Amino acid sequence: MIHELKIKYHTEDLQKIVKIDKGDWIDLRSAYDEEFKAGDFGLIDLGVSIKIPKGYEAHLVPRSSTFKNYGILQVNSVGIIDESYAGVADVWKMPVYATRDTIIKKNDRICQFRIIEKMHPVIITEVEHMTDDPRGGFGSTGVK
Q: Where are the domains of the chain?
A: 6-13+23-117
Q: How confident is the model at residue 30 (pLDDT cuts 50, 70, 90)?
A: very high
Task: Please give the pLDDT value at position 96.
Answer: 98
Closest CA to 43 of 74, 20, 7: 74
Using alpha carbons only, what angle is made at residue 7 by residues 36 and 11, rounded to the nearest 5 degrees?
A: 45
Task: Please give the pLDDT value at position 144.
Answer: 67
**CATH topology for the 6-13+23-117 domain:** Deoxyuridine 5'-Triphosphate Nucleotidohydrolase; Chain A (2.70.40)
pLDDT at 137 over 80: no
Task: Please give the pLDDT value at position 44.
Answer: 98
pLDDT (tens digit, 9 = 90+) per residue, 104-136? Answer: 999 999 999 999 999 999 999 999 988 887 777
Q: How confident is the model at residue 94 (pLDDT cuts 50, 70, 90)?
A: very high
Cα(44)–Cα(96) distance, integer angstroms: 7
Catalytic residue numbers, as ranges:
82
